[in-house]
Amino acid sequence: MTTKGSILSTVGLSKHFSGVKALDKLDITVGEGQIHGLIGPNGAGKSTFFNVISGLLPPSEGEVYFNSVNTTNLPAHTIARMGLGRTFQAARMMADTVLENVMAGMYYYCETDPIRSFILQPRVFRTQEREIRQKAMEALDFLGMKDSAHRWADDLVWVERQLVQIARALVLDPKLLLLDEPTSGMGIMETEEMKGVIRHVRDSGVTVILVSHDVSLVVDVCDWVTVINFGEKISEGNPRQIQNDPKVMEAYLGEEECVES
Ligand SMILES: Nc1ncnc2c1ncn2[C@@H]1O[C@H](COP(=O)(O)OP(=O)(O)O)[C@@H](O)[C@H]1O
Ligand SMILES: [Mg+2]
């Protein structure tokens, strides 16, 4: 059950942690080919939404439809293979090269166990590895990071780490890419670079859901925005409508008051 032209929809989606309603009966529809912003103050439920739709956490109630398939309660690796890629707010890197870090995105979801096939079918393993390496190089090239392929991942600056995470997700040819706070901790120049990358991904045919705390980023790059607070949808519309919605201002103002107190 996906509305025509949509790639993802949730129906009455809830997630409770003990007494906390992290998601509360959320109906969200994401249009195919768009950059869909999901914003809300700290603790609003944004990361939980990503964790539930990508299969990392089971919902307490409700349903998720991805690409016309009911994916509620399917395991994360199955949903990923169906074309849902994601990044995490904390961009953790393996102590290896950039290229190996990107290739890891593919190994994780390989049909075969790489260690097993290395021992039992070395030729198949080598062919598979060559293909994965090529795919990873293509993803790095797409993001303008080909020249960094053999650098040590630990040496990367924050924006480069986010790009490696995106490349790692792109090797699986996702239809939908979830970006969780891709500009957190970045300066103006890096944020501008990331905006270009997000548009570039969307223009290549991948739908993007962008979670961000940064309202100006979302207003700048998103086609459509959903605003949540305390797990509930409080507003929805194009960036201009969101900017002028008193409920949105109130939610963010409340947050500022909390921070100051
Ligand atoms: N694994 C968890 N266990 C218990 N509570 C959680 C867990 N994950 C998130 N929460 C709570 O759910 C609410 C939403 O959190 P989160 O989705 O991380 O918000 P956001 O990403 O919008 O900042 C918060 O109150 C948070 O403390
Ligand atoms: Mg979060």
224-248 per-position pLDDT tens digit: 999 999 999 999 999 999 989 999 9
What is the per-residue pLDDT for 108? 59
pTM: 0.91
Edge to edge, the sheet with strand 84-86 lists 84-86, 176-180, 207-212, 35-39, 224-229, 232-237
CB neighbour list of residue 147: distance below 8 Å, 6 or more residues apart? none
For the Cβ of 183 lying below 6 angstroms from any atom of ligand 1, the answer is no
198-226 per-position pLDDT tens digit: 999 999 999 999 999 888 899 999 999 99
What are 23's two structure tokens? 């998601």
* Alpha-helix residue ranges (DSSP H) falling in 61-213: 76-81, 98-107, 114-120, 122-142, 158-170, 188-203
For the Cβ of 15 lying below 6 angstroms from any atom of ligand 1, the answer is no
Domain ranges of the chain: 6-91+176-260, 94-155
Can you tell me the distance from the alpha carbon of 208 to that of 216, in angstroms, rounded to the nearest whole number? 17
Q: SS3 of 247, please?
A: helix
Q: Give the residue whose CA is nearest to atom 6 of ligand 1.
A: 17
Homologous superfamily of 6-91+176-260: P-loop containing nucleotide triphosphate hydrolases (3.40.50.300)
Can you tell me the distance from the alpha carbon of 136 to that of 77, in angstroms, rounded to the nearest whole number? 19
For the Cβ of 161 lying below 6 angstroms from any atom of ligand 1, the answer is no
Q: Give the residue whose CA is nearest to atom 8 of ligand 1.
A: 48
Residue 261: pLDDT band with limits 50, 70, 90: very low
**213 CA → ligand 2 middle, Å:** 9
